[in-house]
Amino acid sequence: MWSSVATEIDRWVLRSMHYRMPASFRQIQADAPTFDEVLAETAVDECRTPPDSVYAPGVRPVWLRAGDESILCHVRVRLSPDPAAPLLIFHHGFSEIPYYNSWRRIFRRPPGFPLSTICIQAPFHNHWREPFREAFRSVRRIYQTFAGSLRLIELVQRQFEVNGAAYTVLAGVSWGGVTSMLYAGEFGGVRAVAPLLSSPNLAQVIHDGATLVGEELPIAAAELDALLDFTPRCGFDSSRVFPLLGRTDVFFSPERHAAGYATAPVIIPRGHIITLYGVQPLRRHIYGVLEWAEMHPLHDE
């Protein structure tokens, strides 16, 4: 019974998310700028955000520059008393408001070892209307959302490792899992990645949302895949990737997304939305990945 309830909740949320996408996104064009171009023009505005400002406990504002646009984001920091403690960088799901909701639930029970953990806030997540109104305005805007998060992760990793953090592990739920895999593929330098209820194939989620509401997208499936299936960009040592999927997840179902990973994901008997509130399997998985990472340094460390 609970699995069918979880499935219906996922379907209802995915359906409502699809309806909330701006009309401009439904006019998808294949001539969007490349992700590389958007990432190249996105940077931390060091005039407004001194890089070392993120190495402190609490909520830290971070300003980004993207061309002529300024974007305000935040990182939420739990700093270990031990400067050499490993760093866990966590990224939230799309339209998760507040952005630290699942992070706060997961890390309510700290592990039995020193750990600094940071929650990254994606661009356009300062208000509940903002994610759809801004991030899904166009393919370029989706790229901007991911690119901004990658620059925040890059900043945080650099500052913590400069100050002595032994190594970095990434984890993220849903959209945050895509972000974590993108970062590992683009920048590397992390001991492990734990994409939770996620895969790099965002195009498939959009396909499935359109099918659920009986809508035909104005772009061929292959063209949408070329724009929003990030799997080819997420090349990273597969032995260091620890995916987790939910058996009844409608967003990232194992049937559609498990094959995107080189290693078999852990499958839990859960749906997508319910697991973001009953986070025990996510906590257990992340802490297991951290224990593995402790024993498996990178070759150049």
In the beta sheet, which residues pair with residue 77? 58, 118
Q: pLDDT confidence of 30, banded at 50, 70, 90? A: low
Name which of 31-45, 151-165, 188-202 the model is least confident about. 31-45
Question: So what's the pLDDT on residue 199?
Answer: 97
Enter the tokens of residue 239: 């032995």
Mean pLDDT, residues 9-28 taken together: 85
Mean pLDDT, residues 50-74 taken together: 96
Question: So what's the pLDDT on residue 23?
Answer: 81
Mean pLDDT, residues 45-50 taken together: 96
Name which of 31-35, 205-209, 285-289 the model is least confident about. 31-35
Question: So what's the pLDDT on residue 24?
Answer: 80
pLDDT tens, position by position, 109-131: 888 899 999 999 999 999 988 99
CATH class of 2-294: alpha beta
pTM for the predicted model, two decimal places: 0.96
CB 261 within 8 A of CB 290: no
In the beta sheet, which residues pair with residue 173? 196
DSSP 189: -
Q: What angle do CA 184, 259, 169 make, to 5 degrees?
A: 25
CB 109 within 8 A of CB 138: no
CB 27 within 8 A of CB 129: no
Percent of the chain at pLDDT exceeding 70? 98
Strand, coil or helix: 63: strand
Strand order from edge to edge, sheet including 116-120:
42-44, 58-66, 69-78, 116-120, 87-91, 168-173, 192-196, 244-246, 266-268
Q: How far apart are CA 276 and CA 274, in angstroms?
A: 5
pLDDT of 168 higher than 90: yes
